Amino acid sequence: MKETDNTRISNHAGAGARKLHIRVKKKAGTIKASSRRWLERHLNDPYVHQSKVDGYRSRAAYKLIEINNRYKLLKKGQKVIDLGAAPGGWSQVVARIVGSNNENPSVIGIDYLHIDPLPGIILLEMDFLDEETPQKLLDALGDRPNIVLSDMAAPTTGHRRTDYLRTVHLCEVAAEFALSVLKPGGHFLVKIFQGGTEKELLTMLKKKFKSVHHVKPSASRAESVELYLLAHEFRG
C-alpha cells in the first residue's frame, strides 16, 4: 500500500510470529484511532489477502463458499438471484458453480450501489425496496429462481437499535420476495443480525421450508453480530 499524508504503514513480525503483520501508525491529528484499527484489521485479514489471490471482489465470497460446502446449495444449471450484490463477490461464486455465462446468464445481482460488470451475471443498479423491482428481477432472469441469496444490510445511521431494525426489515422483505418467487425445492439464504426480533422471521420460514439453520461461517469476523439464516427446500 502506498504511504499517504495520513498514514504510515510498517511491516513487522512479533516474537515468534510466522508472518508479517501490517501496522498502521498514526500521525497526530490525521486519523482516528477507530479508523486506524479498522484499517489495520483489514490489511491483516487473511480472507482479504486470499480474495485478491482468487480474484473475488470481496472477502464475503468465502462466507458463501463455506456455507455451500457444508449444505450443498449450488448446482450446475441453477438460476439464482443475489440481493445486495455489491461489490459482486457472492455473484462471482455463484456464477462459477452454476455455470452462468454471457451467452446464457442464469445469475442476477441487484444493488443500489454501482457494480462493475462481471462475466455471466446480469447486474441491476436499483433499490430492492422499489415497487417495480421484484418483477424486473424475474423478467431479467426469465424464470423463477432455484435460490434467492440476500447479503443486504441497511446503511448505518450510528444508532445501533435503529440500524438493527432497518436491517431486520430488509430481511423480512427479502423473505417475502423469496416465498413469492422460489421454485419448489429451492433455498433462501439471508444475513441477519442477532438481537431477538428475527424470531418472527424464523417462525415464518420454518412453516415454508423443510429445514431452517442458523449459520455463522468462519469468514464472519468473531466480533460481528451477523448470522445467516438458511431456509432449505421450499415446500412451494
As annotated, the active-site residues are 191
Please answer whether residues 201 and 192 qualify as being in contact, where contact means their C-beta atoms are separated by less than 8 angstroms: yes
Strands (DSSP E) along the chain, which ranges?
7-12, 21-26, 80-83, 107-111, 121-125, 147-150, 187-193, 209-215, 226-234
Helix ranges, 4-102 (H): 33-43, 46-54, 61-71, 89-98
Rounded distance between C-alpha atoms, residue 190 and residue 174, angstroms: 8
Residue 201 is classified by DSSP as H
What are the cell numbers at 188? 433462501
CB burial string 68-100: b at 16+ within 10 A, e below:
beeeebbeeebbbbbbbbbbbbbbbbbbbbbeb
Which are the contacts of 212, defined by CB distance < 8 A and separation ≥ 6? Answer: 202, 205, 206, 229, 230, 231, 232
Neighbours of 232 (CB within 10 A): 18
What are the cell numbers at 218? 468462519
CB neighbour class for 177 (10 Å; exposed up to 12, middle 13-18, buried from 19): buried
